[in-house]
Structure formats: C-alpha cells, structure tokens
C-alpha cells in the first residue's frame, strides 16, 4: 500500500483516518469498527462490502 495514498484516503462512513493492516491486506477504521478489503491493489471503500472488526481487533 502506497503511504501517500494512506495520507489522503478516508473512511467513507465517518471520513476518519484509515490504517493499513498488512497481514489481512485491509484498510481499517477503528472508529466505525470496519475493515475494507483491497482487491488487485484497489481499496474497496463500500460500507456494504466492509467486514465488522472483532472485539479483539478493535482493542488491538
């Protein structure tokens, strides 16, 4: 994930900062508890496509 992209990309739900989870290849919004997948190098920033973070993931 390009670090320049992470500086400008925002959560589509709350407009908050997204963090890159290298292990799962996802962009994570801790505020909303959502993880957005990255497919073929393109972030899928659709709320309907996002997965809910587990309790453990939210606190980590």
- Residue whose C-alpha is closest to residue 50's, from 23, 31, 19, 29: 29
Rounded to an integer, what distance in angstroms lies between the CA atom of residue 60 and that of residue 43? Answer: 22
Over residues 14-34, mean pLDDT? 94
Residues 6+ apart with CB under 8 A from 52: 33, 34, 35
Yes or no: say if 18 and 5 are a contact pair by the CB < 8 Å rule: no
With a cut of 80, say whether residue 34 has pLDDT above it: yes
Over residues 10-36, mean pLDDT? 94
Strand partners, 36: 27
Rounded to an integer, what distance in angstroms lies between the CA atom of residue 25 and that of residue 60? Answer: 16
**CATH 2.20.25.10 correct for 3-59:** yes
Assign 1 a pLDDT band (cuts: 50, 70, 90): low
């Amino acid at each position: 994930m390009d670090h320049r992209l992470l500086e400008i990309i925002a959560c589509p739900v709350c407009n908050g900062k997204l963090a890159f989870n290298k292990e799962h290849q996802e962009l994570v919004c801790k505020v909303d508890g959502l993880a957005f997948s990255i497919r073929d190098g393109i972030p899928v920033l659709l709320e309907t496509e996002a997965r809910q973070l587990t309790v453990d993931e939210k606190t980590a």
